[in-house]
Amino acid sequence: MKFVISVFLFLCIACSEPEKNNAGLRNDTIQTASGLRYVYLKHGKGRKVEVGSKLETKLSLMVEDSVIWNTYGAPDSLFSFVVGVGQVIKGFDEMALLMREGDNVLAILPDSIAYGDKGAGDAIPPNVTLIYDRYEIVLASEPRLVPMDTLLGILKESGIEDLRKQFETITLDTAMFHAWGDYDDYYFVRKVIGDSLYTEAFELAYFLGTKHNDPNTLSLMTMAQEEQEFYQPAIDTLESIMRRYPENEYDKEYFESEIKRFRKLLEVQ
């Protein structure tokens, strides 16, 4: 609590009458048109962040006087994202685009550029201000395209067959595109489901799940089926995945619980 109080005192001082430090510099709080406020804790000298840059960041996030996310606690624990492509909340992107590699700031994001009136799960209530008492850019890459966006365009315009043909070419082209990550199969299918492309998502989940031998991605076929109220086919899909991966104890319990849930939905259909 003492640390939280000190953060607010620091901001109050910075926002009112900034004092000069020993080097004669003024510790001003900067405010943007969106309501974002920030104070530099450290000025870096690295690459300027641009739209399309992939960042490795260290963070400490406070909500209502409690730290709910801190990547400083574990070695090599970094939060990665690509700037300006919708992967993070608006205020997080805005702050990043004002920084360069090596910068560390204390940033305050009003709810209008954070999670708004919806909040985010149990940790972040609706209409809450986010305080990043540390927001540090460890690494900023040169801007590149996001392969997921390009592949989604191909899927919408040309269909799953064309996507299959171009998948490896795009995901292996690290000169033009950011590298395809370990979890990108899963997130890509979720993105397609979010666009209400349920038939395409089902086929994509099967293609990527079998290509990379990943039962979690395969299980997203059932999410596409559920959106269409295909509950019995969803049950059949999960049972087929369990037969295919009999040693996968980690997911077995979850799959079984999903089968029970689909059976209940089937009963009231």
Residue 77 and residue 57: Cα distance in Å, rounded? 9
CA-angle at 219, arms to 217 and 220, nearest 5°: 70
What does the buried/exposed string (b/e) look like for 167-199 if buried means 16 or more CB atoms within 10 Å of the residue's CB?
A: beebbeeeeebbebeeebbbebbebbbeeebbe
Give the pLDDT of residue 109.
97
Give the pLDDT of residue 142.
94
Give the pLDDT of residue 27.
58
Give the pLDDT of residue 17.
40
Give the pLDDT of residue 269.
79
Q: What is the mean pLDDT of each run of 10 residues along the chain (269 residues)?
A: 43 43 54 96 96 95 90 83 91 97 97 93 91 96 94 96 97 94 92 96 97 95 97 97 86 91 92
CB of 239 closer than 8 Å to CB of 259? yes
Give the pLDDT of residue 8.
45
Residue 89 and residue 132: Cα distance in Å, rounded? 13
Structural domains of the chain, ranges and CATH numbers in brackets: 2-140 (3.10.50.40), 181-267 (1.25.40.10)
Q: What's the first-to-final CA gap in the chain, in angstroms? A: 51
Give the pLDDT of residue 26.
43
